Structure 1
Amino acid sequence: MEASFWHEKWERGEINFHQSEANPLLTEHFEKLNLVKDSRVFLPLCGKTRDIAWLLAGGYRVAGAELSEHAINDLFKELGLDPKISKIGNLTRYSAKDIDIFVGDIFDVSAEHLGPTNAIYDRAALVALPSDTRAQYASHLIKITGAAPQLLISYEYNQQLIDGPPFSVNEDEVKQHYGATYQVKSVESRNVAGGLKGKVASTETVWLLQKKQ
């Protein structure tokens, strides 16, 4: 999937995937990561998600990666923050108190850029990527975060009926990408009310990924 696809979505305001409130699956299950206050949480492909405001209000620090500069300008406006903007290689870094967002290709984000990370919250990254990119993404995420514990949300549906994003990612695939590094546990699975995009029956699953000892 080309970068232009996402840039055009944001420019045209076609952001049905954006939620106006923090995701209830985050607020219900975040405590399972057992983080202390001031821990740093990485949100890959974060957009302008309200989950960031929820995490900041809870006393956590946030790092994110996002392709669309438009989305991140909106994010900081909505947070009421005036970011410091700097260039780091191919990336643009937006920073304010307790928040660092790297704008550009997530595969350009290195462990050195990101810095210490206590946890990952993936609400819309793995499922946003086509199948031929997901293995590379998962491997990259593990590498740049030192296999930080992760709360991952996935969808499963009949992709012959509609195409993604979000794409259908089943349990076998989650374990295929992460099972060698993490203990993978489903903590909740529920039907998507009204179906995915209002068109097809789908389940939404929250996974807790904790590094194997």
Structure 2
Amino acid sequence: MQAEFWLQRWREGQTGFHRDQPMPLLVRHWPTLTLPPDSRVLVPLCGKTLDMPWLAAQGHHVLGVELSPLAIEQFFAEQRLTPERHESPLGVHHVAGRIEIIQCDVFALDDATLASCHAVYDRAAVIALPPPLRERYAREVYGRLPKGCRGLMITLDYPQQEMDGPPFSVDAGNVDALFGHSWNVGLIERRDILVSQPKFVEAGVSSLHTSVYRLQR
């Protein structure tokens, strides 16, 4: 996926992936990571997700990364927050309370920024990327997170030949191939969600599952 693809989606309001409440799977499983409250949590390809305020309410420092200035603008407006802005070699930083969003490509993050993250929450990033970019993402982003880092990853799994992504199918074998060599990966929930996803039904998808993985570096 080229950057322009996602920028265009935001310009045209094609953001069906956005939820109007925190992800229930996050709320249910995040406590199992047993993170200290003030941990810094990386949220790649964050959009304007309400998962960020939820994480901040748990006492965490949230670091979102997002390409689209519209997504960032809408997030802070909808949260009734006025962020302070500054620029760095990474991009434009928007900071309000415990939430910081950097407007940049996730691959532009430097070693120091990634090394400062105690945790990662991935609901929309790994499934947004086609295989070649997904491999680069695992190598260049997850591969530079520090030892001891913990994460929660939510994926979709369906017959890829039945529908074009994004979102792309990322099954257990994909997760193990991408992360198993340097992360302890555990599947903690898998459920059938096809009946609740009309877009997939209309596309002719025959099965659809969502899975939640707990990771530790």
Question: TM-score normalised to the size of structure 1?
Answer: 0.94
| 1:191 has 2:166 as partner | no
> Equivalents in 2 of 1:92, 1:40: separation in Å?
19
> Equivalents in 2 of 1:137, 1:209: separation in Å?
15
CA apart distance, 1:202 = 0.4
The amino acid across from 2:183 in the alignment is Y
Where does structure 2 lack aligned partners over 5 or more consecutive residues?
A: none
CA apart distance, 1:101 = 1.0
Whether the aligned pair in 2 keeps the contact of 1:127 and 1:166 (CA below 8 Å) is yes
CA apart distance, 1:80 = 1.7
The amino acid across from 2:117 in the alignment is T
Residue aligned with 1:146, SS: coil
> Equivalents in 1 of 2:144, 2:97: separation in Å?
22
RMSD over aligned Cα atoms: 1.4
Whether the aligned pair in 1 keeps the contact of 2:42 and 2:62 (CA below 8 Å) is yes
> Equivalents in 2 of 1:165, 1:22: separation in Å?
21
Question: TM-score normalised to the size of structure 2?
Answer: 0.92
CA apart distance, 1:118 = 1.2
Aligned to 1:203: 209
CA apart distance, 1:111 = 2.5
The amino acid across from 2:53 in the alignment is A
CA apart distance, 1:115 = 5.6
Aligned to 1:21: 21
Q: Deviations along 1:24-50, whole A, 9 cap, x unmatched?
A: 000000011111212111100000001
Aligned to 2:151: 150
The amino acid across from 1:58 in the alignment is Q
The amino acid across from 1:208 in the alignment is R
> Any runs of at least 4 consecutive aligned residues in structure 1 with deviations exceeding 4 A, and if so which?
none
The amino acid across from 1:80 in the alignment is R
Whether the aligned pair in 2 keeps the contact of 1:111 and 1:143 (CA below 8 Å) is no
Where does structure 1 lack aligned partners over 5 or more consecutive residues?
A: none
> Equivalents in 2 of 1:195, 1:209: separation in Å?
27
CA apart distance, 1:4 = 0.9
> Equivalents in 1 of 2:121, 2:132: separation in Å?
22
Where do 1:52-63 residues align within 5 Å? 52-63=52-63
Aligned to 1:49: 49
> Equivalents in 1 of 2:156, 2:171: separation in Å?
7
CA apart distance, 1:207 = 0.4
> Equivalents in 1 of 2:208, 2:88: separation in Å?
39
Whether the aligned pair in 1 keeps the contact of 2:118 and 2:146 (CA below 8 Å) is no
> Equivalents in 2 of 1:208, 1:168: separation in Å?
18
Where do 1:2-81 residues align within 5 Å? 2-81=2-81
Residue aligned with 1:187, SS: strand
What is the count of residue pairs matched by the alignment? 211
> Equivalents in 1 of 2:111, 2:119: separation in Å?
14
Whether the aligned pair in 2 keeps the contact of 1:102 and 1:109 (CA below 8 Å) is no
Residue aligned with 1:27, SS: helix
Identity of matched residues, % = 38
Farther-moved stretch of structure 1 (79-88 vs 130-139): 79-88
Summarize the Cα distance change of 1:37–1:78 in structure 2 as closer, same or farther, 3 Å threshold.
same
Aligned to 1:179: 180
Q: Deviations along 1:94-153, whole A, 9 cap, x unmatched?
A: 112111111111111113245611110000000000111111101122244215211001
| 1:104 has 2:104 as partner | yes
Aligned to 1:170: 171
